[in-house]
Amino acid sequence: MKHVTPAALGLLLISGLVWAGDLPQSLRGATPVSDSAPPPEMAEYPDKGKALPRSLAHQPPLIPHKPTYPITTARNGCTGCHDPKRAKMMKATPTHSSHLDEEGGLKNTYYLCKQCHVPQQTVAEAAE
């Protein structure tokens, strides 16, 4: 094995330090693990009905409001407004006909709305 000179070792160390400085930062930023990091900024949603237009045909439209309505086995918080029977009263677009079975009920495969519809939200950049 070649003899490693102290100078070469020093260079190796310095390059190691430079590399460490370039490591990606965690989402917590520079907050030590023992401290609570400040909460992330609240997301902002467009006014209802003012989401970006679809960029391709049959794209599931973006959710133009908060997406936190609960979807559990007991109830679906989204159909409270988007079920075709209620949508007009709630001034919401009824779910697409593809989501419904012959009796007008929601198909199980469309139960988890956020599997396809994503909220349009403005958030501070999470990481560089």
Residues that bind ligand HEC (CB under 6 A): 48-49, 51, 58, 60-61, 63-65, 67, 69, 76-82, 90-93, 95-96, 98-99, 106, 110, 112-117
Least distance in angstroms from the C-beta of 74 to ligand HEC? 14
**Which residue's CB is nearer to ligand HEC, number 40 or number 49?**
49
Least distance in angstroms from the C-beta of 41 to ligand HEC? 21
Distance CA 29, CA 127 (A): 9
Distance CA 84, CA 71 (A): 18
Distance CA 26, CA 66 (A): 26
**Which residue's CB is nearer to ligand HEC, number 28 or number 50?**
50
Question: What is the full DSSP assignment across 34-64?
Answer: TSPPPPPPPPB-PPTT-PPPPSSTTPPPPB-
DSSP count for the chain of H helices, then E strands: 3, 0
